[in-house]
Amino acid sequence: MLPRVRELHLTYYGMLADQRGLAEECLASSAATVAELFLELSAKFQFGVEMKHLRVAVDDVFVPWDYSLHDGARIAWLPPMSGG
């Protein structure tokens, strides 16, 4: 059985947007969870941050790393930020 491919809408913030070279994109992935997706993206784009230092939101709600992805999900990657 082939893995299910999902169309996903990604938003990158902070250092991830800098490292990716863009703030938003749509892509297809067979990742089943947000953790699988981040590992896939990190390997491809060599993100310089570990998952334990990030927050992730799906459809505007913070979720755990084992959260299951669905077709059309809007995913936001939020690295640590500082500022006043």
Give the class (CATH, top level) of 6-78.
Answer: alpha beta
Q: Number of helices (H) and strands (E) in the chain: give both, helices first.
A: 2, 5
**pLDDT for 55:** 94
> Which one-letter DSSP state was computed for residue 80?
-
The highest-confidence range among 7-11, 15-19, 43-47, by mean pLDDT, is: 7-11
Per DSSP bridges, beta strands 61-62 and 74-78 are: unpaired
Query: Is it the case that residue 80 has pLDDT exceeding 90?
Result: no
**pLDDT for 16:** 92
Of 10, 29, 32, residue with least CA distance to 21: 10
Q: How crowded is residue 72: how many other Cβ atoms within 10 Å of its Cβ?
A: 11
**CB–CB of 27/8 below 8 Å?**
yes
Which SS3 state, helix, strand or coil, does residue 43 take?
A: helix
> Each residue of 29-74: pLDDT tens digit?
999 999 999 999 999 999 888 999 999 999 999 999 999 999 999 9
**pLDDT for 30:** 95
